[in-house]
Structure 1
């Protein structure tokens, strides 16, 4: 397999092959891609691929008639003044050009159509599979890496799916057809071409290696430039730059990177120019050598002018398909490396898999009784149990508060109720049905979550609310906003519901974002509600406003409240104290305070803390 790929520049001689990236070799050595998986991508399009192959062969064969018509015009039609032969030859030339042009457009369209459909299928499969991963996957994986798989890697396959898949057939057919035509014209001149082609290919290869190294450096520099833009010009990046006063430093770093790009671009344009100049001399010398050979004593008079002209045309055109064939190896390795990374994501096991045969449930009739039945949990890559033998029951419409020090397992318990993860032992049920037996959509309709980290998409308030109930009309949206105590804020905005919330909702304060999230959950109307430290990042005044909204939200719903501030769970039907993943106390606020145990100790610590001033509402 060759280590080079063709990278022709359109007009003039091709730029030549490129080396296989060592990183691509390493990727394939670590995660090889079986041929059957590659063929499986194209299997649904086998009919189109067969048509494409026929087009390639037909176009190559028809195109080879052109130099023979040229020879006929020069050697017969013009000297003999045979107008009829001249007209038919010219008509044939135009017809061949027209037919090959139409076949070329058809080939390009068909190859791109197949490639785009394959890329579309891959994108959707990867997106769906990544969406099915548990939250543990997203916590341990950088967001940029996921985006790179979905966007960059799949886009990088385009060359293979739209061109490389057909380049072997195209180049091989063209090279064979051209070689046969050259031999048919004159076998001695064909031998001369074989002597000239190797140094021409070698020179082109040397030029490509120089450009390859510079291009690799440029790609790395471009990656740095993109990273600097993302870090400095995102909402959080801009805030950090302004508050730390590092804007000037960032500007200097950006200017330095940009200047390096200018240097690399200049070097790329000038790289190997003398070699390319030599190539141009070689290409100019090829027909000159043919003319010289035709004029030698032992061949003089045997070769017609038409034959010489036709041969020099073929000689020039044979170079490109040969270089293309040399380049298939590296292009194939590069594409397989991308597929290896993409298949790596598709092969990720689904830690929280949907049930194969979900229990049918009428969401509207769910009562909402939640039961933890000896539940234990440990992280997939850890040996320490985060939760151990948790056994508790929340009656339908009842409320429980989970409290404890940081790391006690409170938020983990909350994530299990919404099935962001599955228990490693025991089970959690709603109305006696194991969560693992509920369809994901049914579970999302039954269990609603309001967390400290409120996420609003970069869209209007209306669209953010409609995520919970796509068919809701404006009266329902305003009703939810009113119940969440945030309708006055929205009404005061010039665009009202059509106000764009900004990146991650930064258009609003923390308390306003939380209340919009409460309104969104109200529209969802879940029977079970999980409040995961929803007020912990707010100051006292904003907390009171949000708590009023939460009180309205929890009416008639089964509620599990995860709280750092004990004041938010004092009115719960029962308070459960966690420590080291175990339940150490449970009871009402009054009972636990009278017990003078862990809960009373936590309450005493919070009473001595200064009032929080986290986020203004």
Structure 2
């Protein structure tokens, strides 16, 4: 990714919409827990009903126990019963609340874990092109920050909405029973408040989306700058201060959006709270008018107990109403995050397994590879959440520059391969040569189906790879890349990644065959030595040999080697060469090499230029033909001032 990329926001119309209503999908997410949700709903209704009884008990305390309307003495027996009931109800409600909170927390966190797991599983199915066109930090942000952002909705919001709705309904009914006139006064401005709330909610949704996009940018910067590779790069070029400033700019943007999001609606809520605060005073005033008959239809029999009960209910109504408004805004904000999550879940993998796919039998697999008039066009990067990553240094980036800014990869022509036809027979060592960017690696990536051909077909033992099961194809093809990837873990775990069930003897034998066992045993912790992030605690040759050990443990019938000995010193190259000679024995092997000394003894050499197959043959045949291979050979070995004799027994990779 170029340094200093920034987010350009598109209009709402350009934002990819979810395939189905978000609320419906959230409901389906909670469906496995509907039994617990029913219990929560029952608990909420019971709790709200019990709480609504208290104001009527308060009315009875005033009108029947303390100040009977008939003017008699206080009824202490009735007062004791009423007070006992008023004490018992909160205790019962609290106990119900504890159970309710446990159920809602269990349901919400379980649903969030399901969502996170589904998202991770779906991302595992995405094609390689998705990951080459999407920043790792952006993916991590959706998996971590976006899912975490909807935690409250899944754990508390549904219960809060249900509880407050029931409370409001119960309080409203009770208030109407006590005095419909005072109820109208309490709720007279509610339609206006609801309309304003909807407008505030829409603005907060837009802000929530922009805030998460900004947070995604910060996560991406962190992942890039604080990885081992990023730190090494910044130190080599003295760019530490620039990286700090880059992060601070994104941090300031995030802070501004967070403050803007936090303040959106504050004036509205302050207005609502002010209205609710002065309403009791208005109630007292109107009650006085009603008692004196100043209000048409007023009730002159309004008692002190009724007035106390009504104001108690009013307080119980106003707080839930305010909470409902707040939580509704939270829901509207969270919907923006749900849309971002569902946007990833709605992405259809470009490479899928066909119904009735054929399973390759490893015992009968010969390893014949055929490219039949293969044409390949690189897929366009996907745009998500209405954002396009652009290089801030480009004044007006065109299509190629935009692709480069999004993918972080070199700009390529639209067509990677054009009409390639070739055959690698079982057990052959086939080499692919050509200038940088000619399409060599692209061709090899079509065999394990990292990409699908645009037209034509790639066949393994006569089967189109698109007709094979993904697992059997993956088990049949092994790849050793120029820069092997190692997890932050032990050497043993990194080798065993190829076959987790492998025993200790098998792992160590693979290491011996890869010429790395003795080196491993020289470490104090042996096979339990931690490799560090991306294997940075090991040398390039050690990482390469571990990668070879890993593929030997896998034992595939087809092996692809992509510049497996580049940038190694002479002694390390010799060790890696010996390991590769063992690895290629009795396997169909495709080797890519810029250093022609590594493939002089290949059974067949294919020359690719500008995505086209321009020649094929043995070393001697191609040298005599005077074409691409001959030109590359002369250029390379004239620099080295030595022309080695190429024999299969002396093949080096």
**TM-score category, normalised to shorter length:** 0.7 to 0.9
List alignment gaps of at least 5 residues for structure 1. 1-21, 612-617
- CA shift, 1:273, in A, is 9.9
1:561 equivalent to 2:591? Answer: yes
Indicate the residue corresponding to 2:45 in structure 1. 57
| Alignment correspondent of 1:357 | 356
Q: Is the aligned partner of 1:154 residue 2:147?
A: yes
Contact 1:452/1:537 (<8 A) preserved = no
Match of 1:6 in 2: none
**Residues 1:127 and 2:120 aligned together:** yes
Cα distance in 1 for residues equivalent to 2:267 and 2:434: 73
State whether structure 2 residue 54 is matched by structure 1 residue 66: yes
Matched residue, 1:595: 625
- Mark the CA change 1:155 to 1:25 in structure 2 (over 3 Å): closer, same or farther: farther
Distance 2:590 2:478 in 1: 10
Secondary structure of 1:363's counterpart equals: coil
Shift of 1:258: 7.3
Structure 2 Cα separation of the partners of residues 267 and 359 of structure 1: 56
Aligned counterpart, 1:95: 88
Once residues 387 and 261 of structure 1 are traced to their aligned partners in structure 2, the CA distance between those partners, rounded to angstroms, is 43
Q: Do the aligned partners of residues 551 and 409 (structure 1) sit closer, same or farther apart at CA in structure 2, a change above 3 Å counting?
A: same
Name the SS for the 2:489 alignment partner. coil
Q: Distance in 2 between matches of 1:211 and 1:442?
A: 49
Q: How far apart are 1:302 and its partner, in Å?
A: 4.3
Contact 1:204 1:276 (8 Å CA) reproduced = no
User: Corresponding residue for 1:509?
Assistant: 539
Q: What CA deviation, in whole Å up to 9, does each residue of 1:307-340 have, x standing for no partner?
A: 3333222222212332344456644543443333
Map of 1:170-209 to 2, 5 A cutoff?
170-194=163-187
User: Contact (CA 8 Å) 2:377, 2:414: kept in 1 or not?
Assistant: yes
1:395 to 425, 438, 444: 425
Q: Which moved more, 1:436-445 or 1:25-34?
A: 25-34
1:371 and 1:391 in contact (8 A); partners too: yes
Distance change in 2, residues 1:204/1:91 (3 Å): farther
Aligned match for 1:41, one of 29, 54, 58? 29
Question: Partners of 2:262 and 2:347 in 1: how far apart?
Answer: 42
CA separation of 1:194 and 1:38: change in aligned 2, threshold 3 A:
closer
Q: Distance in 2 between matches of 1:599 and 1:366?
A: 32
Alpha carbons of structure 1 residues 23 and 179: separation in structure 2 relative to 1, 3 Å: farther
Checking the alignment, whether the CA contact within 8 Å between 1:135 and 1:420 is kept in structure 2 is yes
Secondary structure of 1:372's aligned partner: strand
Q: Do the aligned residues in 2 keep the contact of 1:593 with 1:600 (CA within 8 Å)?
A: yes
Aligned to 1:489: 519
Please give the residue correspondences for 1:201-600 in structure 2 after superposition, counting only pairs within 5 Å.
Answer: 229-248=222-241, 250=243, 285-291=278-284, 298=292, 302-326=301-325, 330-381=329-380, 384-600=414-630
Contact between 1:55 and 1:103, CA under 8 Å: does it hold in 2?
A: yes
Query: Following TM superposition, by how much is the alpha carbon of 1:164 offset from its aligned partner in structure 2, in angstroms?
Result: 4.0
After TM superposition, give the deviation of residue 270 of structure 1 in Å: 10
Counterparts of 2:321 and 2:493, CA distance in 1: 56
Work out the CA distance in 1 between the residues paired with 2:575 and 2:542.
10
What residue in structure 2 maps to residue 77 of structure 1? 65
Aligned mates of 2:424, 2:198 — CA distance in 1: 73
Partner of 1:5: none
- For residues 216 and 392 of structure 1, the distance between their equivalents in structure 2, rounded to whole angstroms, comes to 49
- SS of residue paired to 1:64: helix
Give the one of 100, 115, 127 matched to 2:108. 115
Equivalents in 1 of 2:355, 2:203: separation in Å?
A: 55
Q: Which moved more, 1:424-433 or 1:491-500?
A: 424-433
TM-score computed with the length of structure 1 as normaliser? 0.82
2:208 and 2:336 in contact (8 A); partners too: no
Query: Do the aligned partners of 1:25 and 1:337 also contact (CA within 8 Å) in 2?
Result: no
Query: Corresponding residue for 1:605?
Result: 635
* Cα distance, 1:609–1:59 mapped onto 2, change above 3 Å: farther
Structure 2: tracts of 5 or more residues without a match: 1-8, 68-72, 294-298, 381-411, 642-653
CA contact (8 A) 2:205 2:335 kept: no
Moved more, 298-307 or 441-450: 298-307
SS in 2 for 1:417: coil
Deviations 1:65-108 (A, max 9, x none): 01112222344334555444233323322332233223333433
Secondary structure of residue in 2 paired with 1:585? strand
What is the count of residue pairs matched by the alignment? 590
CA contact (8 A) 2:208 2:333 kept: no
Deviation at 1:188, TM superposition (A): 4.2
Q: Comparing 100-109 with 497-506, which one deviates more in the overlay? A: 100-109
CA distance in 1, matches of 2:268, 2:442: 64
Question: Are the structure 2 counterparts of residues 273 and 469 from structure 1 closer, same or farther at C-alpha, using a change threshold of 3 Å?
Answer: closer
TM-score, normalised by the number of residues in structure 2: 0.78
Q: Decide whether aligned partners of structure 1 residues 475 and 146 sit closer, same or farther in structure 2, where only a CA change above 3 A counts.
A: same
